[in-house]
């Protein structure tokens, strides 16, 4: 499967949801590359929202203040497959920090924040993409032709996250990362608005003991079986 040349059907939308560390971002990147589709990481949008609200020094518990900041900064934001640019500066790597992930999940439960970001996501997905997040199959792209829900054991998810972050922060322990992940999972699964859950019809893949290329292979096989991609 991997290594063949694939042509996706016109406008193919692939939704890829799952908790932090489930591998959805990495898998989405590979699937997008195999199919020549843009890969859109929606977590970056929520990270941008949490980051901007904090930079503006507003109380993250105050939904309307967070919303107000977003209305002000969104016109200066550009979201592309390569990442997020603000006032023409690439802020993607800053947004990927673990601390910003925590801020993101604190503002992501606000219905009005989600409604505002929903339009941004639907608009960019129009001409086809692999989009990863928490509510892509359920809310953002309910009509996506293919939906996947990635999982992995909590220990393995913490280990993966730690391996990424440890490069920059040698003091960081797996236990710290595991605690932070648990907190984030609780917020993402427990919120009332668009919680993390498997969409109806989404194929669940537990990647705990799978290599990335094995997961990608499985996804490509599903897409081919459903006539959504063709080998050329
Ligand atoms: O995938 P990530 O770690 O970059 O996401 C950061 C936070 O953003 C995550 O804790 C929950 C939130 N999020 C969300 O609520 N909905 C999405 N579609 C993507 C992310």
pLDDT digits (tens, 9 = 90+) for 64-113: 999 999 999 999 999 998 999 999 899 999 998 878 988 998 999 999 99
Q: Which atom of ligand 1 is nearest the CA belonging to 46?
A: 8
Question: HSE (CB half, 13 Å, CA atoms) of 10?
Answer: 0
Is pLDDT at 167 greater than 90 in this prediction? Answer: no
Q: What is the CATH number of domain 12-216?
A: 3.40.50.300
The three-state DSSP-derived secondary structure of 33-87 is: HHHCCCEEECHHHHHHHHHHHHHCCCCCCCHHHHHHHHHHHHHHEEEECCEEEEC
Compute, in angstroms, the gap from residue 12 CA to the centroid of ligand 1: 23
pLDDT for residue 165? 85
121 in contact with ligand 1, CB cutoff 6 A: no
Compute, in angstroms, the gap from residue 60 CA to the centroid of ligand 1: 16
Is pLDDT at 169 greater than 90 in this prediction? Answer: no
Domain residue ranges in the chain: 12-216
Percent of the chain with pLDDT over 70: 100
Is pLDDT at 2 greater than 80 in this prediction? Answer: no
Question: HSE (CB half, 13 Å, CA atoms) of 208?
Answer: 6
Look up residue 187 and give its DSSP letter: H
pLDDT for residue 93? 92
pLDDT for residue 127? 93
Is pLDDT at 30 greater than 90 in this prediction? Answer: yes
106 in contact with ligand 1, CB cutoff 6 A: no
Record the pTM: 0.93
């Amino acid at each position: 499967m991997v290594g063949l040349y694939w042509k996706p059907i016109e406008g193919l939308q692939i939704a890829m949801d799952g908790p932090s560390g489930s591998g959805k971002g990495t898998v989405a990147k590979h699937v997008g590359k195999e199919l020549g589709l843009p890969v859109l990481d929606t977590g970056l949008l929520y990270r941008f929202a949490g980051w901007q609200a904090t930079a503006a020094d507003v109380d993250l518990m105050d939904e309307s203040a967070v919303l107000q900041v977003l209305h002000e900064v969104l016109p200066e934001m550009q979201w592309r497959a390569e990442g997020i640019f603000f006032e023409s500066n690439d802020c993607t790597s800053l947004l990927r920090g673990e601390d910003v992930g925590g801020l993101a999940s604190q503002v992501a439960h606000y219905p009005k924040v989600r409604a505002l970001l929903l339009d941004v996501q639907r608009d960019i997905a129009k001409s086809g993409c692999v989009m990863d997040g928490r509510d892509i199959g359920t809310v953002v792209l309910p009509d996506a032709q293919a939906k996947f829900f990635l999982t992995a054991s909590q220990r393995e998810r913490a280990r993966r996250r730690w391996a990424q972050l440890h490069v920059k922060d040698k003091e960081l322990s797996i236990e710290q990362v595991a605690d932070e992940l648990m907190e984030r999972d609780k917020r993402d699964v427990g919120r009332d608005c668009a919680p993390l859950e498997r969409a109806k019809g989404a194929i669940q893949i537990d990647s705990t003991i799978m290599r990335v290329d094995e997961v990608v292979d499985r996804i490509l096989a599903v897409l081919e079986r459903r006539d959504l991609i063709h080998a050329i």
